[in-house]
Amino acid sequence: MPLIIKDEYPEVLFREDGKRLDGREKNELRPIKMEVGVIKNADGSAYLEWGDNKIFAAVYGPREVHPHHLAKPDRGILRVFYRMATFSVFDRKRPAPGRREKEISMIISDCIEPILFLELYPGTSFEVFIEVINADGGTRCASTTVAALALADAGIPMKSLVSAVAVGKIDGKIVVDLSGIEDKAGEADLPCAITWYNKEISLLQFDGDMDLNEMSEFLDLAKDALGRIHQIQLEVLKSKFLTIQEKSDEIIVNKENQGES
């Protein structure tokens, strides 16, 4: 039977003043908040709030491979498990992982692999677990961004971070960072990610239609937005170590004071 309130989309995605329904300009990102070290048991972890998306990521590794036959004698393997909570979407999702989750896991894994030095860890695995507890459009990009942060938090050697965002076309106009409604009611959607060590595209999907001019506009807009996301990632990581530095400074000062008195 259907639900009592129906999941309906508006017909127009721009307000009269030219802004988007949530009040954003075309090239404006939703508010992003990130945090590292949120899951104490994990080797590395991160939490991300991106608009109404809420996502946890945890990294375990390098560790023994289960099942053992997946181990590679010359290098480590990266396994990403992207999952959504049953209550993260409008219609309750079935608890078992579906085809969509498996595909996105693979896309994210392929996106992240270039930044790691897997050849230095033969016979081991790195496992990245991503749990979306609230979804509102662009979860694969948000998940990639938070997974990179969790890997960095785990202290795993990396060539650089990777950041991801979706660009799209709504009501004929090209905009950055589609929200849930814009994603469902819009015409085109292009999630992409950049690995910063070579500034190349590492995740790319597209659904919709575009001409060549639009494609270059899409990619330019994405690059600009990705730069801003990268800055946030770097600041979050830095602030973790600054906090540790401040604490150790405090301890040193306290000890010195005790020595004087």
Binding site for another protein (CB under 8 A): 1-5, 39-45, 52, 54, 56-58, 60, 63, 66, 81, 83, 85-90, 92, 95-96, 127, 129-131, 133-136
Distance of CA 236 to the CA centre of its chain: 14
Q: 40 or 255, CB closer to another protein?
A: 40
Residues 236 and 35 sit within 8 Å (Cβ to Cβ):
yes
β-partners of residue 256 are: none
Q: Kindly report the backbone phi and psi dihedral angles of residue 154, in degrees, each rounded to the nearest multiple of 5, phi listed first.
A: -75, -5
Rounded CA separation 123/45 (Å):
23
Could you tell me the smallest distance in angstroms from the CB atom of residue 244 to another protein?
A: 14
Alpha-carbon Rg for the chain, nearest whole angstrom, is 21
Could you tell me the smallest distance in angstroms from the CB atom of residue 25 to another protein?
A: 23
Parallel/antiparallel/unpaired status of strands 173-176 and 188-195: unpaired
- Give the single-character DSSP code of 14: B
Q: 103 or 119, CB closer to another protein?
A: 103
Q: 136 or 225, CB closer to another protein?
A: 136
Q: 43 or 177, CB closer to another protein?
A: 43
Q: 124 or 134, CB closer to another protein?
A: 134
Could you tell me the smallest distance in angstroms from the CB atom of residue 134 to another protein?
A: 5
β-partners of residue 203 are: 193
Could you tell me the smallest distance in angstroms from the CB atom of residue 83 to another protein?
A: 8
Could you tell me the smallest distance in angstroms from the CB atom of residue 208 to another protein?
A: 25
Q: 136 or 189, CB closer to another protein?
A: 136
**Nearest to 166, CA basis, from 106, 114, 97, 107:** 107
Could you tell me the smallest distance in angstroms from the CB atom of residue 136 to another protein?
A: 8
Amino acid code (one letter) for 182: E
Neighbours of 112 (CB within 10 A): 25
